[in-house]
Structures are given as C-alpha cells and as structure tokens.
Amino acid sequence: MATRARAARTYGGRSADDRRAERRTRLLAAGRRAWGESGLTGVTVRGVCALAGLTDRYFYESFANREALVLAVAERLRDEMLATMVQGGLAAADGVEAKLRGGLSALLNAVANDPHARRIVASDPTDVPGLSQLRREMLTMITALVIELAPEWLPKPLDEHQLRLAALFSVGGVNQLIESWLDGSLVLDADQLAADCARLCMTALRQV
C-alpha cells in the first residue's frame, strides 16, 4: 500500500507537488499572456487553459476562479516590478535623487519594453474585485518606505504629520504622472519621466 501511495505521488521522477507547481506556473504565464494581448476581458478560464495546454480540472486545482488568477498575475507582476525598481536604485550613483531616478528609470523602462506588462499595469483596477485594493496596498507600502527613508534625505527633521503629508503627496503625484504616461496623455520617454518624478519628489519633500 505504501509503495503504491509513493508511486502515486511520484511520476517521471517528479513529485505531485512539483507537477502541481509547474501547472500553476503555466497557468500564470498563460493568464499574463491573455491579459497582455487581449486585456482583462480576454482572461477566461477556458482561454487560459487552452494557452496553458491544461484542462479546467487543473485550473481549479490552483485557482478558485478567474478573479483569483487575475489577482495572482497582478501580484506576481507587482513583485517583479518592485524588485526591478530596487535593483535599479541600488545600481545607481550615490545620492538620494540619483538612486530614486535610477529605480524609477529601471521600473519604467521595464514596463515600456514589455507590451504585456504595460497593458496589465494600465488596466482599470475596478474591472476585477481586489485589483483596486492591491493597488492601494502597493501605494501604501511605497508611502511607508518614503516615510521611513525620508529623514535621511532631508536637511532638517519633519514632524510625523508633515512627513506623512509630504510622502502621500509625492507618491500620489508620481502615480498620477505614471498613469498619464501609460494612457498616452503625457508623452515622455521612460528616462525623462523618471528624472522628472525624482526631481519633483525631492522638491516636495524639501519644501515641506
């Protein structure tokens, strides 16, 4: 009995957990492709399964429904973009504004050079329950990071209330500029937008 159970768990030298993880990865890749090529309306259970070469059974093994897949795709892209921004900042020249510019430039160029990522980032978050919350959480996280690091950037300390106002203003303003860039109403290359965002952020924080 134990031998049969082990055989059921292992096939072709791979465990059941490994095969399940591989199927989930394929579904995520297919969901990202469908979203990037056809927008959110193009993300359907049947369509994603066809792209992944899997049946509905395996879809529901990993995701409760279409919305769960959409959120998982968005979360994975968010993590990739944040990692890209951090790496860009670390690789930039010394100086707070330079590092902020480097991080934003890496992020914006990654989006500009990946049509699928650009379409996903530019999607209306109200189309799927949970996407708006995910976006708010990301902005809140970035605001908290600004509040944590800003005292090192400023020539004089700010009280907690003023620092929070400045951080919210800066993050919200950058987010609006990026949204305008994504929808085409702001025409700038990624590096110039990054430089402008970094300069305006630092100006706002210093002026407070």
Q: What is the pLDDT of residues 11-48, one digit of tens each?
A: 556 788 899 999 999 999 999 999 999 999 999 999 99
The SS3 of residue 188 is coil
Nearest Cα neighbor of 128 from 66, 182, 77 is 66
Q: Are 181 and 152 members of one domain?
A: yes
Task: Kindly state whether residues 10 and 98 are assigned to the same domain.
Answer: no
Question: Does 52 share its domain with 129?
Answer: no
Please give the torsion angle defined by the CA atoms of residues 60, 65, 66 and 71, in that order, rounded to the nearest 10 degrees.
-100
Q: Is 24 in the same domain as 118?
A: no
One domain for residues 49 and 12:
yes
* Percentage with pLDDT > 70 across the chain: 90
Q: What is the CATH number of the domain that holds 117?
A: 1.10.357.10
Residues 40 and 133 occupy one common structural domain: no
**Residue where one domain finishes, among candidates 31, 63, 95:** 63
Residues 129 and 181 in one domain: yes
The CATH number of residue 11's host domain is 1.10.10
Give the range of the structural domain holding residue 21, as residue numbers without chain letter.
Answer: 2-63
Q: Please tell me whether residues 48 and 73 are part of one structural domain.
A: no
Q: Does 172 share its domain with 199?
A: yes
Are residues 53 and 77 located together in one domain of the fold? no
Q: Global pTM?
A: 0.85
The four Cα atoms 42, 45, 49, 54 give a dihedral, to 10 degrees, of 170
Length of the chain: 208
Select the more confidently predicted residue: 4 or 112: 112
Residue 17 burial (10 A CB sphere; 0-12, 13-18, 19+): exposed
Looking at 17, 34, 63, which one is the last position of a domain?
63
* 28 vs 201: which has the higher pLDDT: 28
Q: Given the structure tokens 């031998």, which residue do they identify? A: 3
pLDDT tens digits along 142-188: 888 888 877 776 666 677 888 888 889 999 999 999 999 999 999 99
